[in-house]
Amino acid sequence: MKKSPVLIGVTGGLGSGKSTVCRFLADRGCRLFEADRVARSLQVNDPGVVEAMVQLFGEGVYSRDRDGRLVADRAMIARRVFSDAGLLRRLNGIIHPRVRTAFDEAVREAGRDGVGMLVKEAAILFESGADRGLDEIIVVVADMQIRVQRALDRGMTSRDEVLRRIRAQWPQEELEQRADYVIDNNGSLEELRARTDSVYDMIRAKYHVPG
């Protein structure tokens, strides 16, 4: 049996359903590391990141809420970086080394706690090099029209905005080629859960992780 946790990466393009797959894996007992959530936290809680963000986007990138907490203008950031590949690379260069450090600590903590599987959810797993050192990688896929509608249903303002973000990510076909497991999410939630359970069972059996 692997003494340290089995490290599983989960990724997929915007609207693919990777977060839902991760929730299902958590239901099966996996611990979850949400790289994108950690990245958002760093943007308001890490002084080095805050300073670099101001240099990159200007003072207007931040405001304060009623309780005096720092708030990043995520809509402005997204609008700018998803129309400027160079700016997106610079932003990733600020954030992702720190996310990797946080993940390394999460791995150590999971090992101390005897966790069998640790899942890293990341939208740009391959693009950021965050796939290095992982044991298995799951890519969640869905047809383009379904992905676009899901993003619109989640509150994105326009089809053009959704497509701009999708174009800034790696093509789904390339993600599939790099995957150890591909989960199709063109059907119902029940079908997605069944497919996720099947992949979970295969990984658990491969590494002899207790159920």
What is the predicted pLDDT for the residue at 26?
A: 98
What is the predicted pLDDT for the residue at 25?
A: 98
Average pLDDT over residues 89-97: 94
Q: What are the domain boundaries of the chain?
A: 6-199
Q: What is the pLDDT of residues 128-152, one digit of tens each?
A: 899 999 999 999 999 999 999 999 9
Average pLDDT over residues 53-78: 95
**CB of 140 closer than 8 Å to CB of 100:** no
Domain 6-199, what fold?
Rossmann fold (3.40.50)
- Residues 6 or more apart whose CB falls under 8 angstroms from that of 97 comprise none
Query: Binning pLDDT at 50, 70 and 90, where does residue 159 land?
Result: very high
Whole-model pTM? 0.92
Please choose, from the candidates 159, 145, 143, 41, the residue with its C-alpha nearest in 3D space to the C-alpha of residue 99. 41
Q: Return mean pLDDT, the chain.
A: 94
Please choose, from the candidates 170, 177, 128, 183, the residue with its C-alpha nearest in 3D space to the C-alpha of residue 16. 183
20 is in an annotated binding site: yes
Least confident of 54-58, 164-168, 205-209: 164-168
- Residues 6 or more apart whose CB falls under 8 angstroms from that of 178 comprise 126, 131, 137, 139
68 is in an annotated binding site: no
16 is in an annotated binding site: yes
Return the CA Rg of the chain: 18
Average pLDDT over residues 43-53: 96
Alpha-helical (H) ranges within 46-183 are 47-57, 74-81, 85-113, 144-153, 159-168, 172-178
Other CB atoms within 10 Å distance of the CB of residue 169: 19
101 is in an annotated binding site: no
What is the predicted pLDDT for the residue at 1?
A: 46
